[in-house]
Structure 1
C-alpha cells in the first residue's frame, strides 16, 4: 500500500464501500474473481488506480463502477501489484491455503 493511500484504506467510507461491493459480488456470482472466474475473490481492486490527485474524488475512489473483486493471483498480475507485475504468478493458493507451485502444473 502506498503511503498516501493508508488513511483512505482505513476510512469508514472505504470500509463501507468495500463491504457493500463484496456483498453485491457474493449475491451475483458467489464472490468469484471477476478476472478468472475460477477462484474466490480476495481483494477489491481499483480499475483506475488511486493516485494522490484522485484519491479524494469519490467518483474514482468510492465508485463501484471503478472496482473489481479479484483473487490474489489475478490482482498480483496488475502492474505494480505484486510479484506477477504483468507476468504469470509464481504460485496460487490451494483450497488448504498452501501455495501451489505453478511450475509443477
Structure 2
C-alpha cells in the first residue's frame, strides 16, 4: 500500500500512463521469473524528495514489472533478517522452508 505522501503520485495520470506503457512493453510478464506480473517496482526507491522527479519516478529504465512472489523476495531478501526460503524453527535453528531457485537463473 502506498504511503500517504505517495498517494497523489500514484493517482496521477502521468503515473497511470507510464505504468500502462511499461507493462505493455514487457508483455504483462514478471521480468524475473516469466509469470504474470502484478507490481511495477521502482528500482530506485521513491522518497518524498525524489517522487516528483520524473527522471526517477517515471523513468522506464528504473522500473521493473514483477509478480507478487518476486516483489516479496526483492523486499524480504534485501531487508529481512533471513534470506527468502529460510526461517528459524522452534529451536532457533535456520531451516529451509521452500526450495528457492535464484531469480537470475
Q: Distance in 2 between matches of 1:69 and 1:104?
A: 23
Q: Does the CA contact (< 8 Å) of 1:76 and 1:89 recur in 2?
A: no
In the alignment, what sits opposite 2:22? 21
Once the two structures are superposed, residues 14-59 of structure 1 have per-residue CA deviations (whole angstroms, 9 ceiling, x without a partner) of: 0000000011111xxxx3211122x111111100010011001000
Q: Which runs of 5+ in 2 are unaligned?
A: 78-82, 87-96, 100-105
In the alignment, what sits opposite 2:48? 52
Provide runs of 4+ in structure 1 moved above 4 Å: none
Q: TM-score, with normalisation over the residues of structure 1?
A: 0.71
In the alignment, what sits opposite 1:94? none
Number of equivalences: 84
Q: Higher relative CO (CA 8 A, sep ≥ 6), structure 1 or 2?
A: 2
**Greater gyration radius:** 2
